[in-house]
Structure 1
Amino acid sequence: MGDFLLCSRPARAALGERLSLAVRAEVERLGFTVRVLSPLAWLIVWGPRPPDLRKVGPWTLIGDVFDRRSPVFPAIEDQAPHAWDRKLLARIWGRYVGVLLAPSGEAAAVLRDPSGAREAVIWNTHGLTFIASDVPDGLVKTVADDWRISTSRLAAAVRNPLVLGAALPLDGPVALLPGEMRDLATDETHALWHPSDHVHRPDLITLRPPEAAARLRAAIEEAVNGLASAAGAVGGEISGGLDSSIVAAALHPRHEVRLWLNATGPGPGADESRFVDALEQRLAITATRFERRRSPLGLAALEAAPQRLRPSLAALDGDFDQTWADHCSAAGVQALFTGKGGDGLLIQPASPAVFTDLWRLRGWRALWSRDLVRLARLNERSVWTLVSAARSWRGPADPAPGELSLFTPFDGAAPRHPWLNEAAAWGPAKTVQVLSLLQGHGLHGASRLTAAVDVFHPLLSQPVIETCLGLSTPQLTLGRRDRALARLAFQDRLPPEIIHRRSKGELTAFFGRMIADGLDDLRPWLLDGRLAALGVIDRKGAEAALTRDALIRCGDYPDILLAALFEGWVRAWDKRLER
């Protein structure tokens, strides 16, 4: 996915004009082509599939924009503040950032689309206003000379990456949440779209399973068809799992797919070839297969990870991404479809928390639901255990630290993402669904793959997000198994092996070996690195965790991978911000 940077100057400031011209001259010297939006604003774009511009009403939308098939408008009066803008977000969807230009030509407001696929960051420097999804390396010292790394936000994000979506670990720029609009004149931010507006939507939670399945399938097909229309040569990931198979079934045969890619993991737990075989036969397609190489998480891999405005959770396995990028480039693929994000939004697993959600919706009437017995049997619990847990649940708990913690204790209360402020009213399974949506925002980050091709995650697009939020978790699981509604929705397009599959590919051992084989580089990278110098990493705890014995005993792989990723991000931004 390509990026953009927009520069706007005030209408009545001679110095602003000179500064804007100076920045523009530096931009052109670096090889960028400037597009003039008005006498006071100009724009540059870059990367794979640089974003297009589309005018919708007073807004200039930067990126991919599609009309909704069946929009559901918010119940607000036309005279209410920002009513037109809120209805706009119901009428269109895509991967875009909107900029509102004042009559004079300067930028007056910015909005970010509800999917969060494209970053939207705003800052002021020397009288100029910048709006961007990223900043090219060569321009950082020109347009962001007063930025600093925020140690407090960095420390919070490395312990709980989900808060990373709420604020940048940088002092200086302001990042919008998905669905937010910022008035640049007043510096006020307004939430035009919020998950709570769509949770348990009245028109969806009353649907019977066949009707709900049809609505879910229509949303997925709308997302796939829209995104496929935006790119030329398309490729698709097929892992053998349900989510990528659903996306493949929605793509084929309506859209021409130049390359189907399948990566086989080492070991029997990661080998999903028989499910890929079944999908190939059912859809009459042929996949290009390759085996995931086991390469150590060494210094070369750590330094090669691309770094942008936020640490990118999509860059955790660089060698794997590079292999995907090479295959796509060889086939001339411009955009690759994945099934990422489906696990959480479609509800996996069908845990006892699903009954707690039902209890929040129905109260004592939930005792007469067939879902109670089904979920108890599925999870090997008693009915009364599920009822007791449902009655006692009061809200989401903060994540607990692992047995061996790499990080120093957090000073003060751990921050919580603002999207979770109303989670106590939803129930635990619906809360996990929203948490998975926050985690999905990280999948849009930079990687070696995104540097080569555009990567589409249709299951994380607005039509699918709103449908899955609107349906209850008992509907999505049919009260008896994970992602049951999605299985019902695509049962006529997928082979029985995938529809009825209960296992899941397992790569935990793979990542454990990748870390263990790279310990000679990883230990000094973390123990003598910037996070340790800033006090974010507990050096004594890290020394204990970064051994083969500790990896075998505790398996704290996610913390180690996150620490390595964040360490690379801090080192990269230290260099960019050097004076």
Structure 2
Amino acid sequence: MIPVQAIFSLPLTKDRAVGAIISRVDDRTQLGERAPSLWVASESHILTLGDRGLLIGIYFAGKGQRAMDRIALPKSAMPAEDIARWLVREGWGAYVAILRDPETGDWSVLRDPSGLLPLYRMTGEDRTVFGTDPRLFEAVTGKSPQVCWKQIGTHLRRPELRQRKTCLVDIAEVEPGTLTSASDPEVSRLIWDPADFVRDAGITSFSEAVAQLRETACDVTGAWAALAGHVVVAASGGVDSSIIAAALSVNGQSFECVTLATADPSGDERAWVQLLAEKLAVPMTACTYDVGRIDLAGPVSATMTRPSGKAFMQEVRHHLARTCETGGASWAFDGNGGDNLFCFVHSAAPVLDRLKHDGLSSRTWATFLDMCQLTGADAGTMARAVARRWKRGEAAAPWPSDFRLLDTAFPLHDDAALTPWFDVATGQQPGKRDHLRLLQRTQNFVHGIDDPLRFSPLLSQPMLELCLSIPTWLWCSGGINRAPSRKAFAPELPVSLARRTSKAGPDSVMREVFARDRSVIRTILLDGQLAANGVIDRVATETALAADPHAEDPIVYRLLDLVEAEAWARSWG
């Protein structure tokens, strides 16, 4: 798949006389300082909005499975905010829209709600520059972006909270679902609000949730697959990637499966993926991790604005690329974000929500028993958990901090979340805060249309909206997690796989890398830039390096995350 890459410059000043003219340049260094200008890697990624601006990326109208090549606005004199709301309401995809308001002369930028096309910004004296890839900014500034050490420390303290500030100096990320003014980029207007979908239980029955999930998942995966052609499904042996494969099968689209196993049986999912491939009658490729190819000096997140990759992903990308090339596929679909999207909670939240909705009823008691079964808690433990949540009221729990191996004296930035969903009004479903938090946790680990190799289709806007509208108690029906999504594709999935509630992972690979490269890791961290800039505690880090790689101590993974951060920082010079 050709990745979407674009960078554009918009003036800070408002000028009604300018008109909606955005100059196209062939050379990124020619972006104008006072006139709107744009560079985009592929002409196919531009859709005109007439004299009101243009859209960059992929846009599907309604439930259609064909990407639009032109968009006709209902009115020519719509304010920019109205156009933004119309685009979000009438279609979906992965896109950025550049809009001009005829009344004010102000340029503004809409990033679609899914966030599947990244968008970053830098503001100068005369203009704001927006780009989908941080390395594109070098063409404007004449130098590679610089690492922000304070923000790296902030990121490592809360690595699963995607923040507005990136780990690069003066580069911020644009919040999905908002309209940002080019003249005042610190101010944005909310166009897509999750509260519209979580405030009330839009779906009230399990059967309705199942039917809509099946239809929407098929629509979404079908639309992306129709655009990509033959695809590879990165099958993990779990429910989420299996649902993608099942939806593709329902649509009759061409695909094959690939899975990656560890040498240790603890991370070998080949038998499960074989069951899936046989049931769907599609080819399957089974690969194994080669620890010898994993190079800790080569960051997985080199092209990202934050060090959020894992070393084992080098092998995943290697095998996905090879399988795509061999099978003639243009893209690999993964199930990343599925656990979070399908509200995989282990708390009392569903019981509390059902209690608020139905009171002390047999239905609430059924949900209570479902969560006892799902979590393994006895009735007394669950009752106390419900009481604690009730007492907490609407207040959101603080996001946990991880100070392990960090220098606690190091000054940190304010860690404002990219999507400020902590105080979203949830009406009679306070447990939906847990669901929103799960979605926030997945934002650093999904793949958008800027990635030429892999893509995470489950996080598309129609799926977000639908899943947020399903009450928390329906997700745990029958005492099994993600129950509606399992039931939705039960006809296509092997029975044992559809009922599976856990799967293996590449932990043994990470521990083997640690054991093999312990001395290298010691040098990288103790003599590296994180230590030199005071981000990590050298004494604590040196002590942690003595950990037994074959034990269950999670400090090994923390050390490898710090190695990724060090390698990422060095990649930016």
Q: TM-score range by the shorter chain?
A: 0.7 to 0.9
Q: Which 10-residue stretch deviates more, 483-492 or 156-165?
A: 156-165
1:248 aligned to which of 220, 242, 245: 245
- Aligned to 2:220, the other structure's residue is in SS state helix
Code of the residue aligned with 1:67 in structure 2: it is A
Instruction: Report the counterpart of residue 332 of structure 1 in structure 2.
Output: 328
1:17 match? none
Matches within 5 A, 1:115-130: 115-125=114-124, 127-130=126-129
Residue matched to 2:559: 560
Which residue matches 1:469? 468
Match of 2:48 among 46, 55, 58: 55
Judge conservation of contact 1:63–1:95 (CA < 8 Å) in 2.
Answer: yes
The gaps in structure 1 that reach 5 residues or longer are 14-19, 71-77
Cα 1:277–1:174 change in 2 (3 A) is closer
Equivalent position of 1:211 in the other structure: 208
Question: Is the CA contact 1:159–1:407 (under 8 Å) kept in the aligned structure 2?
Answer: no
- TM superposition shift of 1:253: 5.3
Q: CA shift at 1:509, angstroms? A: 2.6
- Identify the residue that residue 73 of structure 1 maps to in structure 2: none
Find the counterpart in structure 1 of residue 315 from structure 2.
319
Q: Partner residue of 1:151?
A: 149
1:174 partnered with 2:168: no
After superposition, residues 119-518 of structure 1 pair within 5 angstroms as 119-125=118-124, 127-136=126-135, 140=138, 142-143=140-141, 148-187=146-185, 188-204=187-203, 206=204, 208-252=205-249, 254-295=251-292, 298-302=295-299, 306-313=302-309, 317-348=313-344, 351-359=347-355, 361-362=357-358, 364=360, 368-393=364-389, 394=392, 395-399=396-400, 401=402, 405-408=405-408, 415=415, 417=417, 419-422=420-423, 430-444=432-446, 453-518=452-517
Quote how far apart the aligned CAs of 1:63 are: 0.7
- TM-score, normalised relative to structure 2: 0.84
Q: Is the Cα–Cα contact under 8 Å of residues 352 and 379 in structure 1 kept in the other structure?
A: no
Q: CA deviation at 1:425?
A: 5.3
Q: 2:6 aligns with which of 4, 7, 22?
A: 4
Please give the root-mean-square deviation of Cα atoms over the aligned residues, in Å.
Answer: 3.7
Give ranges in structure 2 of 5+ residues lacking alignment: 16-21, 65-76
Change (3 A) 1:313 1:419: farther
Is the aligned partner of 1:68 residue 2:58? Answer: no
What secondary structure, in the 3-state scheme, does the structure 2 residue paired with 1:171 have?
coil
Deviation at 1:527, TM superposition (A): 1.5
Give the structure with the higher percent helix. Answer: 1
Percent identical: 25
User: Cα distance 1:225–1:107, how it changes in 2: closer, same or farther (>3 A)?
Assistant: farther
Answer yes or no: is the 8 Å Cα contact 1:360–1:425 preserved in 2: no
Q: Post-superposition shift, 1:484?
A: 0.9
- Per-residue deviation, 1:82: 3.1
* 1:167, distance to aligned residue in structure 2 (A): 2.2
Q: Does structure 1 retain, via aligned residues, the 8 Å contact 2:267–2:504?
A: yes
- How many angstroms apart in 2 are the aligned matches of 1:327 and 1:413? 42
Q: Retained in 2: the 8 A contact 1:41–1:106?
A: no
**What amino acid is the match of 1:64?**
I
Most deviating of 293-302 and 216-225 = 293-302
Contact map agreement 1:339 1:459 (CA 8 A) in 2: yes
Partners of 1:540 and 1:60 in 2: CA distance:
54
Structure 1 residues 504 and 147, CA, compared in 2 at 3 Å: closer, same or farther?
A: closer
After superposition, the Cα gap between the structure-2 partners of 1:236 and 1:379, relative to the gap in structure 1 and judged at 3 Å, is closer
AA partner of residue 170 (structure 2):
G
- Answer yes or no: is the 8 Å Cα contact 1:314–1:444 preserved in 2: no
Tell me, yes or no, if the aligned pair for 1:6 and 1:132 is still in contact at 8 Å: yes
- Distance, in Å, in 2 between the alignment partners of 1:450 and 1:181 is 21
Give, in angstroms, the shift of residue 243 of structure 1: 0.9
How far apart are the structure 1 equivalents of 2:388 and 2:425? 12
Contact 2:151 2:413 in 1 (8 A): no
Tell me, in whole angstroms, the C-alpha distance in 1 between the residues paired with 2:229 and 2:385.
Answer: 50
Distance 2:80 2:46 in 1: 26
Cα distance per residue 1:15-71 (max 9 Å; x no partner):
xxxxx99x9686379xxxx9x9xx94333334xx8861123473411111111239x
Q: CA deviation at 1:384?
A: 3.2
In 2, Cα distance between equivalents of 1:492 and 1:261: 22
SS of match in other structure, 1:549: coil
Instruction: Please give the per-residue CA displacement for 1:439-468, whole angstroms capped at 9, x wherever unaligned.
Output: 33222459xx976x3422121111111111
Q: CA deviation at 1:370?
A: 0.9
Could you tell me which amino acid in structure 2 is paired with residue 488 of structure 1? Answer: K
Contact 2:521 2:563 in 1 (8 A): yes
**Post-superposition offset of 1:213:** 0.6
**1:422: how far off?**
1.6
Maintained 8 Å contact 1:162/1:435: no
Q: Is the 1:61–1:99 contact (alpha carbons within 8 Å) kept by the matching residues of 2?
A: yes
Aligned length: 544
Contact 2:235–2:334 (CA under 8 A) maintained in structure 1? yes
Supply the AA of the counterpart residue of 1:440.
T
Deviation at 1:491, TM superposition (A): 1.0
SS in 2 for 1:344: helix
Change (3 A) 1:203 1:435: closer
1:165·1:441 contact (CA, 8 Å) conserved in 2? no
CA distance in structure 2 between the partners assigned to 1:258 and 1:517 by the alignment: 37
| SS class of match (1:219) | helix
CA separation of 1:398/1:550 partners in 2, compared to 1, >3 Å: closer, same or farther? farther
SS at match of 1:236: strand
| Contact persistence 1:223–1:461 (CA under 8 A) | yes
Q: Is the 8 A contact 2:7 2:40 kept in 1?
A: yes
The whole-number CA distance in structure 2 between the counterparts of 1:258 and 1:374 is 36
| TM-score, normalised with respect to structure 1 | 0.83
Inter-CA distance 540–494: structure 2 relative to 1 (3 Å threshold): same
Which of 491-500 and 436-445 deviates more?
436-445
Q: 1:429 to 1:146 in 2, by over 3 A?
A: same
Which residue pairs with 2:529 in the alignment? 530
Question: What is the CA distance between 1:366 and its match in structure 2?
Answer: 8.0
Closer/same/farther in 2, CA of residues 107 and 96 from structure 1, 3 Å limit: farther
Letter in structure 1 aligned against 2:128: T
Structure-1 separation of matches of 2:255 and 2:273: 17
CA distance in 2, matches of 1:299, 1:379: 37
Change (3 A) 1:366 1:163: farther
Native 8 Å contact 2:294 2:312 kept in 1: no
CA contact (8 A) 1:297 1:518 kept: no
**CA distance in 1: counterparts of 2:171 and 2:503, whole angstroms:** 40
Change (3 A) 1:147 1:282: closer
Tell me how far 1:182 sits from its aligned partner.
0.6
Note the alpha carbon deviations across 1:306-331, whole angstroms, 9 max, x for none.
Answer: 23333343776213312221221233
Q: 1:214 to 1:476 in 2, by over 3 A?
A: same
**Range with greater deviation from structure 2 (252-261 or 390-399):** 252-261
Contact 2:371 2:476 in 1 (8 A): no
